[in-house]
C-alpha cells in the first residue's frame, strides 16, 4: 500500500479519480487535483513546504517532487507530465508542460506553458523557460520553439495517455482515490 502520511498536522489531499501506485510515497502539505496519477517508486514530499498539483498531472516512476524549507514551495499546473526519474524541486511548472525523463528542475525555476524540458536536462536555479519552447542540455538552454504539432503530438498525447494508463488500475480500489 502507498505511504501517505501527515507531517506537522498537514495531510495530503487528493482530487477525484487519482491513481496512487502501491509503493509511492506522498507526505505532508500536498494538494493534488483531479485525474492525476502517481506512479511506482515516486516520492512527493510536502514536509518542509507546500506542493500544489493541478488536474490531469502524471508523475512517472521514480520521480521526486520536493520543496525548500521556508523558501520555495512547488506549484505544478494542469496537464503536466513529469517523466521517469525526474527531480522537480521548489519551482513553478505552468500548464501543458512535459518534463523529460531524468531531468532536474531546481529551485525558483519557472517553466511556462506549452514547453518541453528534454530528457536529462538540468534547469539551474532561477531559470525561466519561455512559453512554447524546448530546453535541453546541462545546463539547459533554449534549443527551439515548439510547433503546434509537438504540443498536440507530445504534450497533449502523453497527458491523455497517462489518464488511460491509470484507468487500468481502477480495480485497485484501496489506492485508487475517488
Q: What is the pLDDT along the chain (178 residues), one digit of tens a residue?
A: 899 999 999 999 999 999 999 999 999 999 999 999 999 999 999 999 999 999 999 999 999 999 999 999 999 999 999 999 999 999 999 999 999 999 999 999 999 999 999 999 999 999 999 999 999 999 999 999 998 887 888 899 999 999 999 999 887 644 445 4
CA distances in angstroms from 83 to 6, 11, 159, listed in the order given: 26, 25, 11
Q: In this structure, what DSSP letter does residue 151 have?
A: I
Residue 61: burial class (beta carbons within 10 Å; 0-12, 13-18, 19+): middle
Check: CB of residue 35 under 8 Å from CB of residue 161.
no
Domains and CATH numbers, the chain: 3-170 (2.160.10.10)
Q: Where do we find the cell 501543458?
A: 96
Which residues, other chains included, contact 37 with Cβ-Cβ below 8 Å and sequence gap of 6+?
18, 19, 20, 57, 58, 59, 162, 163, 165, 166
Q: What is the pTM of this model?
A: 0.95
Amino acid at each position: 500500500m502507498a505511504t501517505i502520511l501527515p507531517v506537522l498536522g498537514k495531510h495530503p489531499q487528493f482530487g477525484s479519480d487519482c491513481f496512487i501506485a502501491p509503493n509511492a510515497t506522498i507526505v505532508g502539505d500536498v494538494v493534488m487535483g483531479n485525474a492525476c496519477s502517481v506512479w511506482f517508486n515516486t516520492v512527493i514530499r510536502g514536509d518542509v513546504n507546500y506542493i500544489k498539483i493541478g488536474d490531469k498531472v502524471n508523475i512517472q516512476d521514480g520521480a521526486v517532487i520536493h520543496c525548500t524549507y521556508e523558501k520555495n514551495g512547488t506549484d505544478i499546473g494542469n496537464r503536466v507530465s513529469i517523466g521517469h526519474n525526474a527531480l522537480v524541486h521548489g519551482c513553478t511548472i505552468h500548464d501543458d508542460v512535459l518534463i523529460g525523463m531524468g531531468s532536474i528542475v531546481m529551485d525558483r525555476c519557472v517553466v511556462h506553458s506549452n514547453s518541453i524540458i528534454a530528457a536529462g536536462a538540468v534547469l539551474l536555479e532561477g531559470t525561466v523557460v519561455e512559453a512554447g519552447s524546448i530546453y535541453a542540455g546541462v545546463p539547459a538552454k533554449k534549443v527551439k520553439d515548439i510547433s503546434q504539432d509537438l504540443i498536440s503530438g507530445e504534450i497533449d498525447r502523453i497527458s491523455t495517455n497517462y489518464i488511460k494508463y491509470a484507468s487500468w488500475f481502477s480495480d485497485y480500489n484501496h489506492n485508487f482515490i475517488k
